[in-house]
């Protein structure tokens, strides 16, 4: 990493040049801040469907990357980290892909104490990825 990204310079005296290959998050989500399924948890496991695999060659950019990554199950938060996306953007895009049948969501039936343990494990895993 060079110390600069689309958010601006990291050192004093450096001039900031925007990265034309990075789109602002609101363009990726059509200005939406919430997924279609507002109950889409960050720890929910998402996986590519048969239909999603069939559509993969026709998909573009971030959508294609998410569908390809989810050939194996990943938590929504892990999708965000692995693809370098803001978590909110990943939730919106994953929600869209679930709605169109490209991805499926696995939500295990858990009691509240198990849910907290899973969230802690997801956070620890994300820390290890970073």
pLDDT band at 12 (very low <50, low <70, confident <90, very high): low
Residues 55-113: tens digit of each pLDDT: 999 998 889 999 999 999 999 999 999 998 888 889 999 999 999 999 999 876 666 77
Is residue 54 pLDDT above 90, yes or no?
yes
In whole angstroms, what is the distance from residue 121 CA to residue 115 CA? Answer: 10
Is residue 1 pLDDT above 50, yes or no?
no
pLDDT at residue 128, rounded to an integer? 75
pLDDT at residue 113, rounded to an integer? 73
pLDDT band at 40 (very low <50, low <70, confident <90, very high): confident
Give me the residue label for tokens 């996306």: 85
pLDDT at residue 15, rounded to an integer? 62
- Which range has the worst mean pLDDT, 11-15, 23-27, 56-60, 116-120? 11-15
- Contacts of residue 10, defined as CB under 8 A and 6 or more positions apart, other chains included, come to 3, 4
């Amino acid at each position: 990493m060079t110390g600069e990204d689309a958010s601006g310079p990291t050192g004093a005296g450096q001039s900031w040049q925007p990265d034309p290959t990075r789109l602002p998050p609101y363009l990726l989500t059509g200005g939406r801040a919430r997924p279609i399924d507002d109950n889409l948890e960050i720890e929910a496991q998402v996986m590519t469907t048969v239909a999603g695999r069939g559509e993969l060659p026709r998909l573009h950019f971030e959508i294609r990357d998410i569908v390809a990554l989810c050939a194996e199950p990943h938590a929504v938060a892990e999708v965000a980290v692995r693809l370098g996306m803001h978590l909110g953007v990943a939730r919106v895009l994953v929600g869209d892909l679930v709605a169109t049948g490209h991805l499926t969501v696995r939500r295990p039936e858990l009691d509240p104490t198990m849910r907290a343990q899973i969230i802690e494990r997801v956070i620890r895993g994300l820390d290890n990825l970073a």
